[in-house]
Structure 1
Amino acid sequence: MPRNLMQLKILLPFKVFAQKQGVSRIVAKTTQGFIGFLPHRLDCAVALTPGILTYEDKTDGEVFIAVDEGILVKTGQDILVSVRGAVGGSNLTTLHEAVRQDFLTEDEQERNIRFALAKLESGFIKRFVELQHG
């Protein structure tokens, strides 16, 4: 790989979300604001906040990825991003809709989990009361 290009790897808790070679630039949202990465930038590690990560390569052009909180580490030409969640899109409008759908699905799953936990708790309390009075 030419020295003026980077390798990007985006990790989720249980899988590799994306792995790209030939990346010319990356922009990510950090706790201190947006930060850009070019191939000759000094090595560093930054905390990411939920937002849009943008990278550019010759094959795909400019690519947008919505990421959750996490960390980005640059060492040499390698950039490793580790986040809790990520959603990709070809443009910002498509990405916005994908993120909205992802959050709606997540909200529904959370409601289902809360409902199941409430049923478990009420069943536990009911049995506990029965043991106390039985």
Structure 2
Amino acid sequence: MIHLKIMTPEQIIADRQVDKIIADGQNGFFCLKPRHVDFTSALRAGIFYYYIGEEEFFTAIDSGILVKCGKEVLVSALNAISGKDLKELEELVKQKFVEVEETEQASVMALRNLEAELVQHFVDLEKNRERHY
């Protein structure tokens, strides 16, 4: 068995014993089993597969890093979402993209408001300076 731990900056997505891992590295897909040589790989955004017996599990990950050392595999990714099947995972990823897009739009609006307030502040300062001279 391999001890797999998938982490993002906010949470631990998976922490379990698995039999096999299939991941998409920068040079293509690869498979890890318990007796595989120690290994490190940059991961591409995509589907990360792992197996417990014959049961298949899916995690969508943003780009990340995988390190296999002994019987441990650590995966660190910026974003990751697990699903029971590929259809559910697709829906969860779409939902996450909508949330991220809405957050980005709100951030852009807040930044524009700050910029407008700053410009108005400078205009007011200039008017006050002209009054005093």
TM-score by length of 2: 0.91
Secondary structure of the structure 2 residue equivalent to 1:131: helix
Aligned to 1:123: 117
Query: Match for 2:36 among 31, 41, 47?
Result: 41
Distance 1:6 1:46 in 2: 17
| Residue 20 of structure 2 is aligned to residue 25 of structure 1 | yes
Secondary structure of the structure 2 residue equivalent to 1:13: coil
Query: Match for 1:71 among 65, 79, 83?
Result: 65
Unpaired runs of 5+ residues, structure 1, are none
Deviations 1:41-88 (A, max 9, x none): 111111111100000013x81001000111000001100000011111
Aligned to 2:100: 106
Q: Which runs of 4+ in 1 moved over 2 A?
A: none
Superposed displacement of residue 129, structure 1: 2.5
Aligned to 2:49: 54
Secondary structure of the structure 2 residue equivalent to 1:40: coil
Secondary structure of the structure 1 residue equivalent to 2:4: strand
Distance 2:34 2:127 in 1: 71
Distance 1:14 1:108 in 2: 19
TM-score by length of 1: 0.90
Secondary structure of the structure 1 residue equivalent to 2:102: helix
Unpaired runs of 5+ residues, structure 2, are 129-133
Sequence identity percentage: 38
How many pairs were matched up? 128
Distance 1:118 1:90 in 2: 40
CA RMSD of aligned residues (A): 1.3
